[in-house]
Copies of this chain bind each other. A is one copy, B any other.
Amino acid sequence: MPPSPRRATIRDVAREAGVSRGTVSRVLNGERYVSDQAREAIEQAMKVVGYVPNTAARNLALRRSRAVGFVVHEPHALFLEDPNIGAILLGANTVLSEADHQMVTIVVDSDRDNERVARYLGGGFVDGAVMVSARQRDPMLQALQAMSLPTALVGRPPAGVEVPWVGIDNRGAARAVTEQLVRSGRERVGIIAVGLDRDSGADRLQGFRDALGPRFDQGLVVERPLYEYAAGRDAMQELLVREPALDGVFATSDAVAAGALEALLAAGRSVPGDVSLVGFDDSTWARRCQPALTTVRQPARELGERAAALVLDLLAGKDVAADPAGTLLPTDVVVRDSA
């Protein structure tokens, strides 16, 4: 870039107003001990010369940036599909904006990205980070910890990592929605368990077991790695082969449930006549399916808001307990037509 036409600096303002740099700086930062006369002259001068503070210089002097990273460790394709991430992002963005911080979205897709992102986060460009969907032994999380960047997580961190976090009670919610199946008299209930490499996936499976108790059958557990529509469809087909008498299914996300629904209808099963189906997330999928899905409402936006607030607290030096139990936000079972 041609180093631009050179912008007005604090010195230009000082000269124009007939005062010193220090006084201008004081006005900028709203400090006491500035005469009304000087203040007015300076405010006038700022308009005249078109002054805009230089963030880089301020960051350098203050050693902070008023920016917070929003790190999503997720394949690009899923970033687009997952409705929660968008809502979490918006929640975080709202809170940070109100605190006059900028949010920098960082999508870590390939492992190749790791180094670049770590360099960026360590480069003084951000004061802290919100991290979403960390895996077990996530290298990015380790990097954040190593450079001791104030960080909060959405979702429970891996064991041994002490970091403040917000999440939902995946286990309890999964149990509650599975009980909805059981209460309606279903006997042979299966699960399409996705993303078992995260705490959320594993916890939902556990909640499913809790609800079924002795009726739980390991043979009716189908695992898939990714939260995808296609995965739900395939898994459902497999489940029907394993147990044709199946009469209930818990799909651990709505997108997966939507895929499962397609497979069920294609196999000639009616929903909820022959088979009851429940999902998770209360995403747009749930309302748009025919029949609409019974599912779990997850306060995604609030998760983002709370995580961002945690980071701001850390930055403010507040004593945020890195409570291993984290903060759990409540979920609701939304009963619609599918179960």
Contacts and interface: CB of A to CB of B under 8 A. Distances in A.
B1 A148 contact: no
Contacts of A113: 97
How many copies of this chain does one complex carry? 2
A86 interface: yes
Interface stretch (A21-29, A60-68, A171-179): A60-68
A52 B126 CA distance: 14
B60 A65 contact: no
Nearest to A258: B288
A124 interface: yes
Interface residues of A, number: 56
Interface in A45-97: 52-57, 59-60, 63-65, 67, 76, 79-81, 83, 86-87, 90, 93-94, 97
A309 interface: no
A150 interface: yes
Contact of A63 (B3, B76, B107): B3
Given A52-B119, A54-B60, A93 B80 contact: no
Given A90-B79, A104-B102, A105-B104, A52 B116 contact: no
A317 to B, nearest CB: 6
B64 A93 contact: no
Given A1-B315, A102-B104, A123 B90 contact: no
A7 B149 CA distance: 12
A103 interface: yes
A250 to B, nearest CB: 21
Interface of A: 1-5, 7, 52-57, 59-60, 63-65, 67, 76, 79-81, 83, 86-87, 90, 93-94, 97, 100, 102-107, 113, 116, 119-120, 122-125, 127, 147-148, 150, 229, 258, 284, 288, 290, 314-315, 317
